[in-house]
Amino acid sequence: MTAPCRDFRAAFPYFNTPNAGVYLDSAASALKPQVLLDATCAFYAEAGSVHRGLQQARTTEAFEHARQLMAQWLNAPAAECVVWTSGATASINLVAHSLANTLSKTDNIVTTTAEHHANFVPWLMLTKKCGASLRVVAFDAQFTITPTALLNQLDANTKLVALNVQSNITGQVQDVATLIPLIRRHAPNALILLDCAQAIVHQRIDMQQLGADFYAFSAHKLYGPTGLGVLAGRMEALEALQPLFYGGKMVERVSESAVSLAPLPQRLEAGTPNVAAVIGFGRVLEWLAEWDFDALNRDAVTLAQHCQSALLQLPGCHCYSATPAASLFSFVFDGIASVDIAMLLQEHGIALRTGAHCAQPYLDALGEQSLLRVSFAPYNNDDDLARFLTALSQSLDLLT
Ligand SMILES: Cc1ncc(COP(=O)(O)O)c(C=O)c1O
């Protein structure tokens, strides 16, 4: 039995804080539910690290239980296919680091113009370092990576294809279920990495159905803690990765002259992990399972659609948005600096994002320097939207 969506907001203590404003920046980081705060406090009140001694058995159990929950959430083939990292950026860099030893000058890596810097800069730096080429696929007028555009860049020397499942600028979802089999056929030697940082909040990622090699995302966008991320993947693909860090907890046997690594996932999780964050995130995943996830997301999309319709009534407003609609989109006004609007909105207690959104190649392609972005979550309501629209029209009055 799932809980009615209207109660979702009540689970977030932010709305009871004295300075609570209108939070429309969930695509940057989601608000945190009370269950996360409770689980994190309980951990710090009573426990230590994991995998270290008998007294930590309970903590270890909770830590590994969270991994199980994450694996179930992703329909991963096994819990060992889920590696904890410090975030999406760390997950992607772990893969990039590993490839540095295998890439030669004749190889290429394929990514897209529609990426966050986290899924662009590591590939740019890697290919520069190895003398390999970086091939960048452009998006079309609907902000989509089409099969044809992608296929044009693939060949037998493609060693990795890295693409986002959902854009942090437009909210456009890429049809990765169609693209992945095409990549397998046309670039048989390529690994496939999906940046799921935005998508993980808006849709269920089914690893066994999609069949990519790697999936990277951060917990903080899925109502979880900061400083925690996931690199999930096919067992063989993860096993082939070179650890980025060496140290405790990731080895089976060490002598003065040799080391044998522990099996997955520990071999990629050297050092003391972010135990509090993992246990807290596990509790969030348990709690999320009590809700109708798709219905929650539909509510957020509906708010975003109403918002976009209202914005398009305003003179000089241009929206960059997904088809079908998503819960986030970006916009600009002719002749008005986005940063000026954002600053005035901030005075009204409206939190949204402005700037290049860590996606400068994307903005270059759009011919924009700075965009405003609203992102709605299921804890937002009609009142938030009304307050935003009123504040925006007052801000525009001052600026025009
Ligand atoms: C699409 C996308 N990829 C990657 C990232 C990087 O996530 P993090 O900064 O949590 O590592 C973000 C963050 O906004 C994102 O939106």
- Whether 8 and 35 have beta carbons less than 8 Å apart is answered as no
Best residue among 86, 172, 198, 353 to mutate for probing ligand 1, ranked by most atoms within 8 Å of CB: 198
In terms of Cα–Cα distance, which of 398, 394, 387, 399 is closest to 334? 399
The pLDDT value recorded for residue 208 is 98
In terms of Cα–Cα distance, which of 325, 329, 360 is closest to 114? 360
The pLDDT value recorded for residue 49 is 62
* Pairing status of strand 108-112 against strand 133-137: parallel
Q: Model confidence over 338-360: pLDDT tens digits? A: 999 999 999 999 999 999 999 99
- Whether 333 and 317 have beta carbons less than 8 Å apart is answered as yes
Half-sphere exposure of 150 (CA within 13 A, CB side): 25
Residues in contact with ligand 1 by the CB-under-6-Å rule are 87-89, 116, 118-119, 164, 168, 195, 197-198, 218
The pLDDT value recorded for residue 261 is 96
| Ligand 1 mean position, distance from CA 163 (Å) | 12
Q: Model confidence over 241-259: pLDDT tens digits? A: 999 999 999 999 999 999 9
- Whether 359 and 366 have beta carbons less than 8 Å apart is answered as no
Please report the atom of ligand 1 found closest to the CA of residue 86: 11
The pLDDT value recorded for residue 201 is 96
* Pairing status of strand 158-164 against strand 191-195: parallel
The pLDDT value recorded for residue 318 is 97
Distance from C-alpha of 51 to C-alpha of 275, rounded to nearest angstrom: 11
Q: For the chain, which residues score pLDDT lower than 50?
A: none
Distance from C-alpha of 393 to C-alpha of 400, rounded to nearest angstrom: 10
Please name the residue whose Cα sits nearest to atom 7 of ligand 1: 88
| Ligand 1 mean position, distance from CA 218 (Å) | 7
| Ligand 1 mean position, distance from CA 238 (Å) | 21
Please report the atom of ligand 1 found closest to the CA of residue 220: 10
Written in H, E and C, the secondary structure of the chain is CCECHHHHHHHCHHHHCCCCCEECECCCCCCCCHHHHHHHHHHHHHCCCCCCCHHHHHHHHHHHHHHHHHHHHHCCCCHHHEEEECCHHHHHHHHHHHHCCCCCCCCEEEEECCCCHHHCHHHHHHHHHHCCEEEEECCCCCCCCCHHHHHCCCCCCEEEEEEECECCCCCCECCHHHHHHHHHHHCCCCEEEEECCCHHHHCCCCHHHHCCCEEEEEHHHHCCCCCCEEEEECHHHHHCCCCCCCCCCCEEEECCCCEEECCCCHHHCCCCCCHHHHHHHHHHHHHHCCECHHHHHHHHHHHHHHHHHHHHCCCCEEEECCCCCCCEEEEEECCECHHHHHHHHHHCCEECEEECCCCHHHHHHHCCCCEEEEECCCCCCHHHHHHHHHHHHHHHHHHC
Written in H, E and C, the secondary structure of 112-162 is ECCCCHHHCHHHHHHHHHHCCEEEEECCCCCCCCCHHHHHCCCCCCEEEEE
CA dihedral (254, 259, 260, 265) positive or negative = positive
The pLDDT value recorded for residue 259 is 96
* 81 carries an active-site annotation: no
- 293-296: list long-range contacts, CB under 8 Å, 24+ apart: 293/204, 294/204, 295/2, 295/5, 296/5, 296/8, 296/378
Distance from C-alpha of 117 to C-alpha of 363, rounded to nearest angstrom: 12
| Ligand 1 mean position, distance from CA 315 (Å) | 32
